[in-house]
Amino acid sequence: MKHRILAVALVVAVVSGCGLIGDGDAQPKGKAPTDMNMQEAGDRAEQILDGILGAIKPSVETERGPSSDSICTDFKNDSTGTGSITRRRYVMTIISDERRGNFLGVVERKWKKDGYEITSVRKHKENPAIFATTPEGFRVVLEFGYKGQASIDVTSPCVTESEVTEAPREPLDPSSPAADGFPYIRSDFWSAENPAPSASGD
């Protein structure tokens, strides 16, 4: 497959504090291939990510993570000529331990409003995450990883294999705090080390 981009995705445990149960291990089964090709699926994944991040108020700073693609292995029929693609964003705003539940809650409500199916929640104090599937069959996950790094991944269902162009990514200054790859931007709301007022941000 041309333009294959390999990425090591953080796989973490999850807890949302939103009353959902599950361990987050189960992934939704693959959907039948659509009329999309991999490039179109990648573009759609970027639109989904933009929509999710646009619903987070106050807004957060993000960096586009590396894309990855793979041959479809979860489709029961002959998967020759089919593949899937993952696009991701890393949240560079510091989300404090006290505000993670709020952050997860905002995203969960956005997903439910858009008709996403919450497939599982993994409960973990340091590494909460929530998994869902869109009506189109895209799999989405919000997870907190090492050093509180929040990331959102979107993986397409099986689509027609094609060449894929990497989404543009801003080059990082080696001297910038962003070069370390971990959240470094403080937010008056999301970085606060106290529980959020019940009437705001939740």
Bridge-based pairing of strands 82-91 and 62-64 is antiparallel
* Model pLDDT, residue 174: 60
pLDDT in tens, 17-52: 333 333 433 333 444 446 899 999 999 999 999 999
- Give the separation between CA 152 and CA 10, rounded to whole angstroms: 10
CB 121 within 8 A of CB 131: yes
Q: Which residues contact 33 (CB under 8 A, 6 or more apart)?
A: 72, 75, 82, 157, 158, 159, 160
What does each C-alpha distance from 102 to 18, 88, 110 come to in angstroms? Answer: 9, 21, 12
- Give the separation between CA 159 and CA 67, rounded to whole angstroms: 16
Cis ω before 58 (30° cut-off from 0): yes
Whole-model pTM: value is 0.76
Residue for token digits 């971990």? 182
* Model pLDDT, residue 179: 63
The single-letter DSSP state of residue 37 is B
- Give the separation between CA 192 and CA 202, rounded to whole angstroms: 14
**Given pLDDT bands bounded at 50, 70 and 90, which one contains residue 171?**
low
- Give the separation between CA 87 and CA 64, rounded to whole angstroms: 8
* Model pLDDT, residue 28: 39
